Amino acid sequence: MPNPMQKMLMQAQKLQREMLKAQEELAAKEFTSSAGGIVNVTIKGSREITSIKIDEEALKEAGSEIIEESLISAINTALREIQEANDQIEEKLTHGNGGLPF
């Protein structure tokens, strides 16, 4: 039977494995955001932009400033969603303690 220190070490190792797995899953997940129907941006949880689509009509009619602002908005929204997902993972695994769940 493990002593309390060994038990704590085993729990920490388990938490580390679970955190690594969750982070890998998050890194592979895609987050898509749209800004005003003008642009759609897809970013992986690893924060790699995988797709940017700009509506052709908007491209013809809107000025570059509107397109640029829409891109910034869509990218920032997707990045916030990634951060929120990461925060939820940490909260779930650490039980809100900011550390080990024991």
pTM: 0.79
What does the pLDDT look like over 56-93, one tens digit per residue? 998 888 888 999 999 999 999 999 999 999 999 888 88
Q: What percent of the chain has pLDDT over 70?
A: 93
Q: What is the mean pLDDT of the chain?
A: 89
Mark out the alpha helices in the chain (DSSP H runs): 4-28, 56-61, 64-94
Contacts of 38 (CB under 8 A, 6+ apart): 54, 55, 58, 62, 66, 67, 70
| Domain positions in the chain | 40-94
* pLDDT score at 35: 92
Determine the Cα–Cα distance for residues 73 and 36; give it in Å rounded to an integer: 9
Question: Identity (one letter) of the amino acid at 28?
Answer: A
Q: How many CB atoms lie within 10 A of CB 73?
A: 17
